[in-house]
């Protein structure tokens, strides 16, 4: 039924009109006496709720790869109203966001909400009314606002839609109050049903009542992978000469890679050099007009308690609220019932790039974490990640590592291949073989770690770290540890192979040695898998300080040669004194914001 | 504090905390009191300490800085515990008696060291002592294992240090602890893996053959793998015993046999240990074990054979 409308047209809402699409007593759309009972959402995901487009009507009550509207957790801070005061408690900081109140905080806030339309029923009698029924448990996680002459105001669950509003049509905005944290409690879906008490026709007969339902799914949090271009690189801002060596070195790599927003130093709380570990950058998207996506960046505070008093989280994690939260940028905290452990650090939350395998497609890749049944990150945080559904987490055994982070032994880089990426995996066997070859060629006296020390800034002593090739090969403790590490890394790689189907030809072995500390393993040489995907053609790796033979560091040459066929140049970054010596490397001491992919949409996965 | 100040200020801080100077040594040792040593061993140790202090006073000064180092590393640590083992190892053999002195004779007051920094200091000292593989450390390590309340990380580090020394007496001591029920048995079972002796392999093989609980079997398997670690046996220090073949063959036999018996995490650990030992007899052992194994175990043995064929330490 064509009909005239006074419904407001906005950028997101086109208010041409179609007749009823919900269940009603009428069979004939052309009968002006038939109630129009039509609730619309952006079921066709074109960013517009269109009463003239049947694609926003068909399949509106299902949610699959091709149908179903989307809304977002409105947990950013568009007006910058939340306090940046880091002296607030963890809970106080996390509690503030745009969804914490019952008002629409400006046009940017409104843009974070999904629109719903109740189509006008010009002939609605005076005794007609309607209500919106929200399914449970989703009803507890969303809030509705109604357009009242251009101003959106709270639409409480108990409020009825009047006959006058039915005649004019109604525009609503729906916001999520939180992300999905546990899909066994709420899976992120909500059904919104328009139930119309159609009232009495002019001939005194009752109009048939009816209803119409739309299904929406909340946008998941997605983490970024290394095929997404780096936009901004972060390091901690620390003020002492030794740190400047690292900072300046990484600055040079960032400049060489031409990262658009360059290097940003974060004012960390305390002396938290491990920039990777206190937050993880992600994002949420929903369709926007013109084929665009509306994006809210999500900065997840790690559940780590590094440097924190008992019962509190890592202090620098507050930066997700005090620094990153703002317009279209959310801070998020998910803590467990107890203190976190080292596996909660961001360095133990990486993302395998996109792939298809065994009939399953992961267009946004998969989260990968070090985790075993006996030694794992905070369960509630893992539950939250898994509940997003799109990047189903992969668990890899890192329990043998002293730090236990997934970034210690493997990383992923872009390449021109059907898969589109390669896996860089630590290979202690190759490291030993390289040293053995050098020794066999008469270079056994050549030293590694020349000019490096183990502890000078801690004690004032300079304890040289240099050691000869032959001394390493003769060291039973190093040799034993590296045999074990080679097998443990291979076990990790087997897990990735089983999950992704990646083949040996797509795996680049990266040699460096381990050493044992308190029964666990740590990188003895700077761990060159623990680097940064700076760009498609630049990889930032720690300076290995390997043996220099014939004027070349053989470990640098090896890595450069291994990545050159993939069009990748290695930018070596000096991190010995500030990171390596403390069982971390350049990935641990940095963090990255990456571009949101424009050509792939999570909702097309149907998950 | 590691990062906020210069080297000089760190020295000042260390002195303020009472760590760096000899004056701060208040005894007893940071792990035990020397009174727990047999009288003769105690006297011998003190004589050696005095002698080395006279000849190499700088070694004592360097080791005296260890608590400040532990405090610094602890503040920036990742994982459950910091380690200063590498810097202590880098001090060389001259650090043996200064370290033994700190462990058992006259250590610093704990001062303001956190629980984890204090533990890191003590564990690292023991690890560094073990790395030196010097029999003169045996009495101290044995005294740690013989008495005092159990403290797993300390006991494990002491057991590992004793294991690294690897003398007949050290092996005998650790074997006895591994066999007998007791509060320090787990630490001994964990640390014994660095004692690469045929007798140790035989003892662990016998323990595994008794089919202990899966958690214990996993620990024994890891240690048996360490004992037979093929790369360790490449080194002259370990190979000097002349027991390589007996040790690794025993380890391989026991591990393959246990692999067919256990499942889950224990089997996984046993499988890794088989690869670490990498003994040439392994394919035949797997084939033999497969003959009498149930279907699921046989399938896992097939997988083990396939993994062994492409053993990552042999590529």
Q: Are B272 and B225 in contact (CB under 8 A)?
A: yes
Burial class (CB in 10 A: 0-12, 13-18, 19+), A429: buried
pLDDT of A343 higher than 70: yes
Provide mean pLDDT across the span A156-164. 96
Q: What is the pLDDT of residue A509?
A: 98
Q: What is the pLDDT of residues A497-506, one digit of tens each?
A: 999 999 999 9
SS3 content of chain B, % helix, strand, coil (to 5): 70, 0, 30
Give me the torsion for CA of A238, A244, A249, A251, rounded to 10°. Answer: 60
Q: Kind and range of the H or E element at A24?
A: none
Q: What is the pLDDT of residues A518-534, one digit of tens each?
A: 999 999 999 999 999 99
Task: Band the pLDDT of A31: cuts 50, 70, 90.
Answer: very low
Nearest of A165, A589, A588 to residue A405 by alpha carbon: A588
Q: What is the pLDDT of residue A17?
A: 36
Contact B313 A429 (CB under 8 A): yes
Which residues lie closer than 8 Å to A538 by C-beta, 6 or more apart?
A253, A256, A257, A568, A569, A571
Adjacent-strand bridge partners of A299: A281, A331
Q: Which residue of A has its CA nearest to B269?
A: A488
Task: Band the pLDDT of A338: cuts 50, 70, 90.
Answer: low
A480 touches chain B (CB under 8 A): yes
B231 touches chain A (CB under 8 A): yes
B272 touches chain A (CB under 8 A): yes
Q: What is the pLDDT of residues B107-160, one digit of tens each?
A: 999 999 999 999 999 999 999 999 999 999 999 999 999 988 999 999 999 999
Q: Are A142 and A132 in contact (CB under 8 A)?
A: no
Provide mean pLDDT across the span A299-305. 95
Phi-psi region of A270 (alpha: psi -120 to 50; beta: other; left: phi over 0): left
For residue A460, give the nearest of B7, B156, B234 by CB distance: B7
Which residues lie closer than 8 Å to A225 by C-beta, 6 or more apart?
A351, A352, A353, A354, A364, A365, A412, A594
Rg from Cα positions in chain B: 22
pLDDT of A369 higher than 90: yes
Contact B79 A479 (CB under 8 A): no
Dist. CA A376–CA A393, nearest whole Å? 13
Contact A474 B20 (CB under 8 A): no
Handedness of CA B267, B269, B270, B276 (dihedral sign): positive
For residue A273, give the nearest of B3, B65, B81 by CB distance: B3
pLDDT of A3 higher than 60: no
Q: Are A57 and A22 in contact (CB under 8 A)?
A: no
Degrees (nearest 5) of the Cα angle A289, A68, A174?
65
Mutate to test the interface with A, among B312, B313, B314 (most CBs of A within 10 A): B312
Contact B275 A461 (CB under 8 A): no
Provide mean pLDDT across the span B82-105. 95
Q: Which residue of B has its CA nearest to A433?
A: B315
Give ipTM to 2 decimals: 0.92
Nearest of A460, A493, A215 to residue A352 by alpha carbon: A493
Q: Which residue of A has its CA nearest to B70?
A: A458
Provide mean pLDDT across the span A15-40. 58
Dist. CA A356–CA B73, nearest whole Å? 43
Dist. CA A331–CA A298, nearest whole Å? 6
Dist. CA B254–CA B198, nearest whole Å? 13
Q: Round to the nearest angstrom and report the end-to-end CA distance of chain B.
A: 44
Q: What is the pLDDT of residue A456?
A: 52
Degrees (nearest 5) of the Cα angle A514, A506, A281?
70
Dist. CA A211–CA A24, nearest whole Å? 7
Dist. CA A71–CA A457, nearest whole Å? 52
pLDDT of B24 higher than 50: no
Dist. CA A527–CA A57, nearest whole Å? 55
pLDDT of A489 higher than 70: yes
Q: What is the pLDDT of residues A543-556, one digit of tens each?
A: 999 999 999 999 99
Residue B7: list chain A partners with CB under 8 A: 456-457, 460
| B254 vs A34, more confident | B254
Provide mean pLDDT across the span A419-446. 98
- What does A200-227 look like in DSSP terms, one character per residue? B-TTSPBPPPEEEEEEEEEPPPEE--TT
Contact A454 B77 (CB under 8 A): no
Q: Kind and range of the H or E element at B102?
A: none
Packing angle between helix B57-64 and helix B66-75, nearest 10 degrees? 30
Task: Band the pLDDT of A240: cuts 50, 70, 90.
Answer: confident
Q: What is the pLDDT of residue B12?
A: 35
pLDDT of B11 higher than 50: no
Dist. CA A14–CA A234, nearest whole Å? 42
Q: What is the pLDDT of residue B240?
A: 97
Our separate counts of H helices and E strands in chain B read 18, 0
Degrees (nearest 5) of the Cα angle A544, A457, A340?
75
Q: Are B34 and B42 in contact (CB under 8 A)?
A: yes
Task: Band the pLDDT of B291: cuts 50, 70, 90.
Answer: very high
Handedness of CA A96, A97, A101, A107 (dihedral sign): positive
Contact B232 A583 (CB under 8 A): no
Contact B86 A243 (CB under 8 A): no
A504 touches chain B (CB under 8 A): no
Q: Round to the nearest angstrom and report the end-to-end CA distance of chain A.
A: 35
Provide mean pLDDT across the span A404-417. 98
Nearest of A348, A252, A247 to residue A578 by alpha carbon: A247
Provide mean pLDDT across the span B185-204. 98
Dist. CA B273–CA A152, nearest whole Å? 66
Q: What is the pLDDT of residue B13?
A: 33
Tell me which residues of chain B, numbers 281 to 310, contact chain A at a CB-CB cutoff of 8 Å. none
Tell me which residues of chain A, numbers 481 to 500, contact chain B at a CB-CB cutoff of 8 Å. 482-484, 486-491
Q: What is the pLDDT of residue A18?
A: 35
Q: Kind and range of the H or E element at A549?
A: strand A548-549
Provide mean pLDDT across the span B55-73. 93
Dist. CA B227–CA A129, nearest whole Å? 81
pLDDT of B4 higher than 70: no
pLDDT of B19 higher than 50: no
| B268 vs B77, more confident | B268
Nearest of A40, A44, A42, A46 to residue A18 by alpha carbon: A40
Residue B314: list chain A partners with CB under 8 A: 429
Task: Band the pLDDT of A6: cuts 50, 70, 90.
Answer: very low
Provide mean pLDDT across the span A1-14. 34
Q: Which residue of B has its CA nearest to A429?
A: B313
Q: Are A158 and A183 in contact (CB under 8 A)?
A: no
Rg from Cα positions in chain A: 28
Contact B232 A404 (CB under 8 A): no
Q: What is the mean pLDDT of chain A?
A: 93
Which residues lie closer than 8 Å to A584 by C-beta, 6 or more apart?
A273, A274, A347, A403, A530, A575, B78
Lowest mean pLDDT among A4-18, A326-340, A504-518, B296-310: A4-18
Task: Band the pLDDT of A172: cuts 50, 70, 90.
Answer: very high
Dist. CA A485–CA A481, nearest whole Å? 6
CB atoms within 10 A of CB A607: 18
Q: What is the pLDDT of residue A534?
A: 98
Q: What is the pLDDT of residues A193-239, one digit of tens each?
A: 999 999 999 999 999 999 999 999 999 999 999 999 999 999 999 99
pLDDT of A376 higher than 90: yes
Contact B312 A484 (CB under 8 A): no
Q: What is the pLDDT of residue B79?
A: 83
SS3 content of chain A, % helix, strand, coil (to 5): 25, 30, 45
Which residues lie closer than 8 Å to A591 by C-beta, 6 or more apart?
A233, A234, A235, A275, A276, A279, A281, A346
Cis peptide before A137 (omega within 30 of 0): yes
Lowest mean pLDDT among A206-215, A342-351, A571-580, B20-29: B20-29
Do β-strands A329-333 and A292-301 pair in parallel, antiparallel, or remain unpaired?
parallel
Q: What is the pLDDT of residue A463?
A: 86
Provide mean pLDDT across the span B3-8. 33
Do β-strands A230-236 and A263-266 pair in parallel, antiparallel, or remain unpaired?
parallel
Contact A458 B8 (CB under 8 A): no
Task: Band the pLDDT of B76: cuts 50, 70, 90.
Answer: confident
Q: Which domains does chain A have, with CATH numbers?
A: 13-74+113-218 (2.60.40.1700), 87-94+220-405+588-607 (3.75.10.10), 418-574 (3.75.10.10)
Long-range CB pairs of B145-152, under 8 A, 24+ apart, other chains included? B145/B173, B145/B177, B145/B184, B145/B187, B145/B188, B146/B36, B147/B32, B147/B36, B148/B32, B148/B36, B149/B183, B150/B183, B150/B184, B150/B187, B152/B186, B152/B187
Nearest of A135, A210, A123 to residue A168 by alpha carbon: A123
Distance from the Cα of B43 to chain A's closest Cα (Å) equals 30
pLDDT of B78 higher than 80: yes
Q: Report percent pLDDT > 70 for chain A.
A: 93
pLDDT of A460 higher than 90: no
Provide mean pLDDT across the span A247-260. 98
Task: Band the pLDDT of A7: cuts 50, 70, 90.
Answer: very low
B228 touches chain A (CB under 8 A): no
What Å distances lie between residue A8 and A12, A13, A160, A344, CA to CA? 11, 8, 20, 48
CB atoms within 10 A of CB A553: 19
Lowest mean pLDDT among A401-415, A460-474, B135-149, B267-281: A460-474
Task: Band the pLDDT of A56: cuts 50, 70, 90.
Answer: very high
């Amino acid at each position: 039924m064509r009909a005239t409308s006074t419904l407001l047209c906005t950028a997101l809402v086109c208010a041409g009109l179609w007749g009823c699409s919900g269940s009603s007593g009428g069979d004939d759309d052309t009968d002006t006496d038939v109630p129009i009972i039509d609730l619309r959402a952006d079921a066709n995901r074109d960013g517009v709720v269109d009463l003239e487009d049947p694609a926003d009507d068909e399949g509106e009550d299902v949610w699959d790869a091709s149908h179903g509207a989307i809304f977002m957790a409105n947990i950013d801070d568009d007006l910058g109203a939340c306090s940046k005061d880091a002296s607030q408690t963890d809970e106080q900081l996390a509690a503030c966001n745009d969804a914490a109140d019952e008002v629409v905080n400006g046009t940017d806030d409104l843009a974070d909400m999904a629109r719903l339309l109740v189509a006008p029923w010009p002939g609605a009698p005076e005794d007609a009314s309607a209500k919106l029924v929200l399914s449970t448990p989703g009803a507890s996680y969303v809030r509705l606002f109604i357009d009242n002459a251009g101003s959106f105001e709270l639409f409480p669950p108990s409020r009825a839609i009047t006959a006058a509003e039915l005649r004019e049509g109604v525009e609503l905005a729906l916001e999520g109050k939180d992300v999905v944290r546990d899909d066994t409690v709420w899976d992120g879906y909500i059904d919104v049903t328009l139930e119309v008490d159609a009232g009495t026709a002019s001939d005194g007969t009752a109009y048939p009542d009816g209803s119409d339902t739309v299904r929406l799914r909340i946008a998941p949090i997605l983490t970024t992978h290394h095929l997404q271009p780096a936009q901004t690189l972060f390091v901690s801002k620390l003020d002492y000469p030794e740190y400047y060596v690292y900072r300046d070195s990484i600055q040079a790599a960032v400049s060489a890679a031409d990262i658009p927003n360059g290097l940003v130093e974060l004012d960390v709380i305390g002396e938290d050099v491990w920039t990777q570990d206190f937050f993880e950058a992600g994002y949420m998207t929903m369709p926007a007009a013109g084929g665009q996506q509306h994006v809210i960046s999500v900065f997840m505070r790690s559940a780590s308690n590094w440097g924190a008093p008992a019962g509190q989280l890592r202090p620098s994690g507050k930066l997700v609220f005090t620094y990153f939260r703002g317009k279209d940028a959310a801070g998020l905290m998910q803590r467990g019932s107890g203190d976190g452990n080292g596996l909660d650090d961001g360095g133990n939350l990486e993302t395998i790039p996109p792939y298809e395998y065994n009939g399953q497609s992961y267009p946004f890749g998969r989260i990968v974490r070090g985790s075993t049944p006996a030694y794992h990150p905070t369960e509630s945080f893992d539950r939250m990640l898994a509940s997003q559904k799109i990047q189903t987490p992969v668990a890899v055994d890192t329990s043998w590592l002293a730090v236990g982070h997934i970034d210690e032994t493997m990383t992923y880089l872009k390449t021109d291949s059907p898969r589109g990426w390669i896996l860089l995996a630590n290979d202690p066997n190759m490291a030993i073989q390289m040293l053995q070859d050098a020794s066999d060629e008469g270079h056994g006296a050549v030293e590694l770690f020349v000019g490096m020390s183990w502890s000078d800034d801690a004690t004032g002593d300079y304890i040289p770290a240099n050691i000869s090739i032959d001394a390493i090969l003769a060291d039973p403790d190093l040799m034993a540890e590296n045999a074990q590490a080679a097998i443990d890394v291979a076990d990790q790689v087997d897990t990735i192979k089983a999950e992704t189907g990646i083949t040996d030809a797509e795996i680049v072995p990266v040699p460096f040695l381990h050493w044992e500390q308190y029964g666990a393993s740590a990188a003895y040489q700077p761990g060159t898998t623990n680097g940064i995907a700076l760009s498609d053609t630049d990889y930032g790796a720690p300076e290995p300080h390997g043996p220099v033979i014939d004027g070349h560091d053989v470990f640098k040459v090896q890595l450069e040669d291994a990545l050159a066929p993939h069009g990748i140049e290695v930018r070596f970054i000096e991190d010995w004194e500030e990171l390596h010596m403390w069982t971390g490397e350049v990935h641990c001491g940095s963090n990255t914001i990456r571009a949101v992919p424009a050509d792939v949409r999570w909702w097309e996965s149907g998950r | 504090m590691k990062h906020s100040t210069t080297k000089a200020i760190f020295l000042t801080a260390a002195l303020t905390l009472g760590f760096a100077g000899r004056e701060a040594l208040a005894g007893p040792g940071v792990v035990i009191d020397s009174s727990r040593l047999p009288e003769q061993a105690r006297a011998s140790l003190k004589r050696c300490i005095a002698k080395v202090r006279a000849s190499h006073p700088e070694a004592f000064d360097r080791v005296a800085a260890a608590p400040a180092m532990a405090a610094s590393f602890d503040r920036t640590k990742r994982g459950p515990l910091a380690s200063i083992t590498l810097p202590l190892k880098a001090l060389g053999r001259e650090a043996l008696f200064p370290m033994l002195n700190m462990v058992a004779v006259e250590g610093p007051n704990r001062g303001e060291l956190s629980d984890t920094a204090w533990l890191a200091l003590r564990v690292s000292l023991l690890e560094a002592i073990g790395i030196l593989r010097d029999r003169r450390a045996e009495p101290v390590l044995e005294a740690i294992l013989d008495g005092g309340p159990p403290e797993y990380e300390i006991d494990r580090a002491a057991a590992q240090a004793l294991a690294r020394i690897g003398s007949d007496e050290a092996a005998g001591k650790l074997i006895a602890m591994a066999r007998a029920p007791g509060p320090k048995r787990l630490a001994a079972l964990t640390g014994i893996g660095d004692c690469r002796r045929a007798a140790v392999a035989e003892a662990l093989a016998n323990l595994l053959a008794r089919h202990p609980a899966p958690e214990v079997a996993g620990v024994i398997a890891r240690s048996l793998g360490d004992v037979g670690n093929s790369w360790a046996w490449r080194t002259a220090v370990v190979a000097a015993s002349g027991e390589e073949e007996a040790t690794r063959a025993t380890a391989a036999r026991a591990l393959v046999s246990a692999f067919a018996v256990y499942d889950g995490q224990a089997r996984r650990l046993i499988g890794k240990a088989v690869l670490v030992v990498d003994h040439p007899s392994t394919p035949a052992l797997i084939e033999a074990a497969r003959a009498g194994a149930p279907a699921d175990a046989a399938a896992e043995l097939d997988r083990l054979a396939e993994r062994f064929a492409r053993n990552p330490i042999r590529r």
